[in-house]
């Protein structure tokens, strides 16, 4: 167990290193830096001024030096300053994290508590009208982009209520939670659909197994067979998907935060990319990558808790 964890953590560090190189390189490959943007958009014209900005931000340094500066700062816990607001990066990112995290948690929770039971029902009622309806529902979830769904929901609000829900920092936590329910559903639909499909096929597979017949031969009821014997086995592969979906969720969040005008990190990331605000983009991407690999490690550990055959051995 101990050395397994050490190996996993080393692997995580390697992954994070890869991500850091990738995001650093990609950002430099995109044409233009903050100075170009300022001079193109804000109408500044003095080339001396431009050179001064570039020098101040260290953008004239060789790329390797820039990278080393970023990483050594990161390791010391110094994330630098936003090019735009000139505030410390950490102060820009930190307050936005809970907003996105709660949205993501809500979306994931919703998708699990709908996806798993509906998948079970779909499998148990295989080839009935209910099963077909649920499969259409899940196929829609996989084919509807979440921004499209978000826009539809907003249009619905405008149509029926004449207004759209607006995020307000001053709302009580409960009100904020209620507000987030709708965007969470828009993001979670895809994951819910995927979890449902996987639960269904996994259940169908498990229900064919010998031990299910054994359970029936003992006089276990249908409910007992489906939930106590089958579902327990069927969720094992579903858990993996939940881990992977957690990563995919980020993509959905970016659009959804934009559509619903939620001041979370996902939308902030897009703005920062547009402005070539390197410290924000780089550190935020690292934070997201860190969350994703951590979730995946937790998922793998959860795996071995549920399935006694998967024993983490050194």
Partner 1 sequence: MDQQVNTQDVLKVNGLTTYFFTRRGVVKAVDDVSFTVRAGETLAIVGESGCGKSITALSLMRLIPSPPGRTIAGTVMLDGTDLLQLSEPKMRQMRGNKISMIFQEPMTALNPLLTIGRQVAETLILHQNMSRQAAQARAVEMLKFVKIPEAEQRAREYPHQLSGGMRQRAMIAMALACNPRVLICDEPTTALDVTIQAQILELIVELQRNFGTAVILITHDLGVVAETAHRVIVMYAGRKVEEASAEELFHRPLHPYMNGLLGSIPRVGLTKRATASEHVALQEIPGIVPALNDLPIGCAFAPRCPNAGDKCRAAIPPFEEKLPGHFAACWHSDVGAKVPT
Q: Which residues bind partner 1 (CB under 8 A)?
A: 209-211, 213-221, 229, 232-233, 306-309
Taking alpha carbons only, the member of 125, 122, 147 closest to residue 136 is 122
β-bridge partners, 283: none
Question: Contact at 8 Å (CB) between 16 and 286?
Answer: yes
Q: Which is nearer to partner 1, 172 or 217 (CB)?
A: 217
Q: Smaller CB distance to partner 1: residue 16 or 212?
A: 212
Nearer to partner 1, 233 or 282 (CB): 233
Q: Which is nearer to partner 1, 86 or 210 (CB)?
A: 210
Q: What distances in angstroms separate CA 280 from CA 85, 142, 196, 290, one per listed residue? A: 10, 31, 36, 15
Q: Which is nearer to partner 1, 164 or 236 (CB)?
A: 236
Residue 17 or 132 with smaller CB distance to partner 1: 132
We find the least distance from the C-beta atom of residue 178 to partner 1, in angstroms, to be: 38
- Minimum distance between the CB of residue 2 and partner 1, rounded to whole angstroms? 22
Residue at token pair 């939930």: 227
- Encoded tokens for 147: 């921004």
In contact, 189 and 220? CB cutoff 8 Å: no
* Residue 215: CB minimum distance to partner 1, A: 7
Q: How far is the C-alpha of 147 from the C-alpha of 183, rounded, in Å?
A: 10
CB of 245 to partner 1, least distance (A): 23
CB 244, CB 293: distance < 8 Å: no
Report the distance separating Cα 187 and Cα 179, nearest Å. 14
Closest CA to 187 of 134, 246, 128, 238: 246
Compute the least distance from the CB of residue 308 to partner 1, in Å.
4
Shortest Cβ 114–partner 1 spacing (Å):
24
């Amino acid at each position: 167990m101990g050395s397994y964890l050490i190996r996993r953590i080393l692997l995580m560090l390697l992954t994070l290193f890869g991500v850091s190189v990738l995001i650093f390189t990609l950002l430099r490959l995109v044409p233009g830096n903050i100075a170009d943007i300022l001079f193109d958009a804000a109408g500044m014209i003095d080339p001396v001024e431009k050179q001064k900005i570039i020098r101040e931000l260290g953008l004239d340094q060789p790329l390797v030096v820039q990278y080393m500066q970023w990483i050594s700062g990161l390791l010391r816990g110094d994330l630098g300053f936003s090019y735009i607001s000139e505030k410390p990066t950490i102060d820009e990112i930190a307050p936005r994290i809970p907003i996105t995290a709660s949205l993501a948690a809500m979306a994931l929770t919703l998708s699990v508590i709908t996806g798993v039971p509906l998948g079970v029902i779909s499998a148990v009622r295989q080839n009935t009208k209910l099963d077909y309806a649920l499969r259409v529902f899940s196929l829609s979830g996989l084919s509807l982009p979440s921004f499209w769904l978000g826009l539809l929901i907003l249009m619905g609000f405008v149509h029926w209520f004449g207004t759209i829900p607006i995020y307000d920092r001053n709302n009580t936590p409960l009100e904020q939670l209620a507000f987030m329910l709708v965007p969470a559903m828009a993001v979670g639909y895809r994951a819910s659909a995927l979890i449902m499909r996987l639960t269904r096929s996994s259940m169908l597979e498990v229900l064919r197994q010998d031990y299910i017949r054994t359970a029936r031969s003992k006089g276990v009821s249908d409910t007992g067979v489906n939930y106590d014997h089958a579902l327990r086995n069927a969720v094992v592969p579903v858990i993996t998907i939940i881990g992977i979906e957690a990563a995919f969720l980020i993509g959905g969040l970016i659009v959804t935060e934009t559509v619903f005008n939620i001041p979370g990190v996902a939308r902030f990331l897009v703005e920062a990319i547009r402005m070539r605000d390197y410290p924000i983009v780089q550190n935020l991407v690292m934070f997201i990558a860190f969350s994703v690999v951590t979730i995946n490690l937790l998922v793998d550990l959860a795996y071995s808790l549920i399935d006694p055959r998967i024993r983490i051995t050194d």
